[in-house]
Structure formats: structure tokens, C-alpha cells
Amino acid sequence: MDFILRKIENKLSLYDPETYDYVTLLRLRIEYSLFLCLGFLWNNLDKLTQDERTKIFANLNNMPIGSAVAAITKLDCGQIKLLKGNINKVIDKYPAVRNSKMEHGYAKADSIVPELIPIYDDLVEKISILKNECDIIVVKNYNAQSNIYNGIRLPSDRNGEGVRWSCPGDIFETPEKNFPEHIFYIRISIIKLHPLFL
């Protein structure tokens, strides 16, 4: 779990489960988790065909959740599979639940909550990056002269308080072999946070 998911969990503990703010936070928790998976799988982009990459790029600036789910499924094509077992069915189910229960007029909050909680629980149970302690690294720049990447590290246990980060280029280019397991890095940011989170 990273500091953002921990912060969402904390906010959930403060809201009444019968309110729409609670439902919004449940939705935010699932959608953030899905976009986190998308960021994690982004390195597999070069394994897709030009047409598949074009479809993903076309939606990137304002990506609907159905397109994000489709992109995650396509990008899960590397040596290390993120989606195992029946997790594809779980992530495919979410856009349908979201559209039927939340998009076209809210149902009662207490009828939505039982639909959303099991989806998130299944995601966490089957996708390790959602349950393991992870730091988020925002890469700010690359110094070609020194072959060093620089940025900000947001440790999972510091409530979003950043620290300076740098990494030699030869290590950064092959993170799956050299990064400690608790470090999770995102090279692009496509996550838009809901005002309730801020």
C-alpha cells in the first residue's frame, strides 16, 4: 500500500457508510488502484502493436475507466504477470457496476457500498502492488553528463512527505532487476485525484 491508498483508507474511516462521500471514496480507491496498475504496466507499452499503442494514447488525457481497464489487460503481457487467476473478471466488472449504479443517477448509497467493497478486496487480494508497502517515485529529470535520474520519493510511511531521490541511469533502466522490492516507480502521471482526497 502506498501513502495515497493509506490516506484514502483513513478518510473512509471518518465517513458514514450511508453517505455519498463514502461511496465516492470507495470509487476513488478502486479507480486509483486501477490507474496504479496501469502505471506499473506502462513499461510493457513497447510490446504492443502500433495500433494498440495508438488506441491507448488516444484516451490518455481523459481516460474513461473502461479504457483504463482495457489498457491494463493489454499491457499485462510481460514476463511478470500482474493479473493472475480470475482478476480479469473483477476489473472487467467494475466499469459495469460504476455505469449502472453511479453514472446515471445515484442509487441509494447503501445499495452501492456492497457492490464496491468486494471489488476492491479482490483487487488487493490478487494484485501484490496494492497490498505491499510501496514508495512512489516521481522522476523529475535526467542528467546525461552524470547519468543520474533525479526526483522525489514519497515513502509509504511518511504520509506523503517527500524526500529527494536520485538513481544511476544504468540501474534505473533495469528496475525489475535492481530496485528493492518495496520501491514502486511511476514514469508518467495520469492519475487525477478527487477533491475529497485533497
Lowest-pLDDT range of 110-114, 128-132, 149-153 = 128-132
Q: Which of 187, 53, 52, 72 is nearest to 127 (CA)?
A: 72
Higher pLDDT, 140 or 187: 140
Question: Looking at residue 173, what is its pLDDT?
Answer: 61
pTM of the model: 0.76
N-to-C CA span, the chain: 18
Q: What is the pLDDT of residue 94?
A: 92
Q: Is the pLDDT score of 104 beyond 70?
A: no
More confident residue, 80 or 43: 43
The predicted model gives 56-67 an average pLDDT of 86
What pLDDT sits at residue 183? 42
Higher-pLDDT residue of 193 and 166 is: 166
Looking at residue 51, what is its pLDDT?
93
Give percent of the chain above pLDDT 90.
26
Residue 106 is predicted with a pLDDT of: 57
- 194 against 147, higher pLDDT: 147
> What is the spatial distance between Cα 124 and Cα 57, in angstroms, rounded to a whole number?
27
pLDDT for the residue numbered 28: 93
DSSP per-residue string spanning the chain: --HHHHHHHHHHHHS-TTSHHHHHHHHHHHHHHHHHHHHHHGGGGGGS-HHHHHHHHHTGGG--HHHHHHHHHHH--SSS-SS-TTHHHHHHHHHHHHIIIIISS---HHHHHHHHHHHHHHHHHH-HHHHS--EEEEEEEEETTTTEEEEEEE-TTTTT--EEEEEEHHHHTSHHHHS-TTEEEESS------TTT-
Name the more confident of 95 and 196.
95
Average pLDDT (150-158) is 84
